[in-house]
Structure 1
Amino acid sequence: MSITIKDLASQLGLSPSTVSRALNNNKNINQATIRKVQKLAKELNYKKNNWASALRTKKTKMIGVIVPSLKNPFFAHTISGIQEVANEKGYRVMICQSNESVELETHQLNTLVASGAEGILISISGETESYEAISELEESGIPVVFFDRAFKSVKANQVEADDYGAGFKATQHLLSLGCRNIAHLAGPENLRNCLNRKEGYLQALKQFKVPVREELIIEVSLESDEFEDEVIKKLLEISPKVDGVFAVSDPIAVQSILHLKKQGVKVPEQIKVVGFGNDSVGEVVEPNLTTVTQNPYDMGIEAVKLLMDIVDNAGFSKSVKQIFVDAELIVRDSTIN
């Protein structure tokens, strides 16, 4: 049976409230009493009941995180940044995976609220188009901060990469190497980051005075397991032939390289490929993948700091904050002959 504050108080001949204050190093309790209480607590292996404390203070010291996929190393790095700051501030982190499902995502939001989350960090699923569920949370007093993925038409507290600038850099890199028929394997347009990458791609073509060819823009699933060989076959059938590919993510870019090689196409000699995300799989595929890094660890740190600011201030800031993390181009063998 676990040791309680009442047990400690009984053995020491003190009141439970005095013991509680001593365990929390209250400045109104003398040091001799604090040392005596904490010594006995250690000897008896007393463990603080966080949930009981939460019921008294209405503070759980827990935040929730929802990501689309834990298979994606980007989110693993982001969570590392989140946990570092949360741990420093004494918060626990409850992590959920939506598997790109809006239904599962909604269920997880409800679960986090029921578990007492004081705030939620979320990178929305590829299926999520309605802001309603999250809006209801915020109206009930639970702050939400978006990271990496957010709604394209909703102004909210969020931390994201400079996806527009990164899409421009990736396409500009291909154009500078002589590519003029660049395909863009795009993500769902309901996601702001995917849309911004596409807009950056379009702006680079415009700046280089290269006509936009709508048939070269193909929307694909963000789940690389669902990437089909037919996408590459379609690109190879287009005339004039594609000479560059900018993919919305590294897993999609890697699948593109594998399918191109299956069709006998040499990368980068015939088609150059750029991904997005600096996924470790990009360094394993042959040739190594040129990519854009979003600095996910830094994104996680900035996202949880923003959420903590709101939680610690017991409410919402009057002004919505949007924080951008720099994205950088990493050039590897998939674009350099």
Structure 2
Amino acid sequence: MRKKRTTIYDIAEKLNITASSVSRALNNSNYVNENTKKLILKTAAELNYKRNTIASNLRSGQSKTIGIVVPRINQNFFANVIAGIEDATYEKNYNLIICQSNEQEEKEVKCVNTLINQQVDCIVISVSADSHDHTHLKNVIEHGIQLIQFDRVVDELETLKVINDNEQASLEAVSHLIEQGYKRIALLEGPQNLDIFKQRKAGYLKALKKHKIPVVHDLIIENAWTKELGAEGTRKLLSMPKPPDAIFASTSDFSALGVLEVATAMGFKVPSELGICGYSNEAFTEITSPSITTIDQFSIYMGKTIANLYFQEMENKETEVIPKIISIKPKLIIRSSTSRKG
């Protein structure tokens, strides 16, 4: 049977004193003399008393807890963002509650409502691909909980945001492909209800325009944002009478991996016959054969930036949160899958 947790009332009963005296001693109050304080602390240790930090924090008006909602914990990008947040919050004795939506709006709503009920101080979220109704995020704000959006954000919600310059990163990636001599560049795009995928598509189109390459709509594959969908889109593209000579998997490196596997199976040589560029700098991109050109989003730095932004706002004496957007510039990492000019 589970052992009952020791409370201040158990200590008070053992010493035949009031619970308020025990509480004062445990909080190192000057209203309790030193001898009594030492006796109380000694008895607390003997009874294996553990301080209820949650209750104590709530009495102070803070839970010292940050809730994080991400689409998938097992993706390197989101795992690194969480690690960055943890690095920055650990020194300040904050706890993290981590939830994943699995790209489902219903689960995202449930996660957010759970965190509200847990009375967290802040909710950090990257919205799911299935997210369309954002009432649950407005509810966070109405409860007086700090809301910080990152990576995938809802533009119309005026909150703190930490994002990447997705359009510029895509522009640089596609320009690199063109500079390597690729002319028929296909795009694997993500759900266009998410701003990050709209921005990446905009960067792709801007690069084609800049280099005076006409847009071929048949080379743009919608919603190819998983490895399986990326592979499916690639089979379609490479089966065309005039297939592309490069594919920009703007959704993720997982899509790019799907491209590489299908291209290899169909006998296309990478990078001489087909260039491949992914997005996110997942760990596996360095060890595939050939290694995959990708875009590093500086995810650990993003996590630290999110946490530091929260602490800055905590120190801000203004009661009203002024919407603030911090944009981080990603970096194109050129590897073998697109290097055909040496």
TM-score (norm 1): 0.89
1:64–1:93 CA contact under 8 A, matched in 2: yes
Q: Are 2:212 and 1:209 aligned?
A: yes
RMSD, aligned CA? 2.6
Q: Which residue of 1 aligns with 2:83?
A: 80
Cα separation, partners in 2 of 1:62 and 1:188, compared to 1, 3 Å: same
- Give 1:214 deviation, angstroms: 1.8
Distance 2:136 2:319 in 1: 18
Q: Point out the more displaced range, 31-40 or 111-120.
A: 31-40
Q: Which residue of 2 aligns with 1:243?
A: 245
- Secondary structure of the 1:334 match is helix
Cα deviation per residue 1:218-275 (whole Å; 9 max; x = unaligned)?
Answer: 1224333x42644112212445431111112111111111111111111111011111
- Give 1:71 deviation, angstroms: 2.1
Find the partner of 1:227 among 218, 226, 229.
229
In the alignment, residue 259 of structure 2 is paired with which amino acid?
A: S
In the alignment, residue 186 of structure 2 is paired with which amino acid?
A: A
- Give 1:174 deviation, angstroms: 0.7
Q: Which residue of 1 aligns with 2:303?
A: 300
Q: Which residue of 2 aligns with 1:258?
A: 261
Distance 1:247 1:28 in 2: 66
In the alignment, residue 124 of structure 1 is paired with which amino acid?
A: V
Q: Are 2:270 and 1:267 aligned?
A: yes
Q: Which residue of 1 aligns with 2:65?
A: 62
- Give 1:153 deviation, angstroms: 4.7
- Give 1:164 deviation, angstroms: 1.4
Residues 109-124 of structure 1 correspond to what in structure 2 (within 5 A)?
A: 109-124=112-127
Distance 2:319 2:248 in 1: 38
Cα separation, partners in 2 of 1:214 and 1:22, compared to 1, 3 Å: farther
- Secondary structure of the 1:144 match is strand
Q: Which residue of 1 aligns with 2:200?
A: 197
Cα separation, partners in 2 of 1:266 and 1:116, compared to 1, 3 Å: same
Find the partner of 2:5 among 2, 5, 17.
2
Q: Are 2:131 and 1:128 aligned?
A: yes
State percent identity of aligned pairs.
Answer: 37
Q: Are 2:148 and 1:142 aligned?
A: no
- Secondary structure of the 2:10 match is helix
Distance 1:18 1:31 in 2: 12
Cα deviation per residue 1:289-319 (whole Å; 9 max; x = unaligned)?
Answer: 1111001111111112223444566986442
Matched length: 336
In the alignment, residue 76 of structure 1 is paired with which amino acid?
A: A
Find the partner of 2:109 among 106, 110, 123.
106
2:231–2:255 CA contact under 8 A, matched in 1: no
In the alignment, residue 296 of structure 1 is paired with which amino acid?
A: S
Distance 2:118 2:199 in 1: 35
In the alignment, residue 168 of structure 1 is paired with which amino acid?
A: L
2:230–2:255 CA contact under 8 A, matched in 1: no
- Give 1:20 deviation, angstroms: 3.1
Distance 2:121 2:215 in 1: 46
Cα deviation per residue 1:308-333 (whole Å; 9 max; x = unaligned)?
Answer: 44456698644201111221111111
Cα deviation per residue 1:64-116 (whole Å; 9 max; x = unaligned)?
Answer: 11110122111111111112222222221111111110111111111111222
Q: Are 2:67 and 1:47 aligned?
A: no
TM-score (norm 2): 0.88
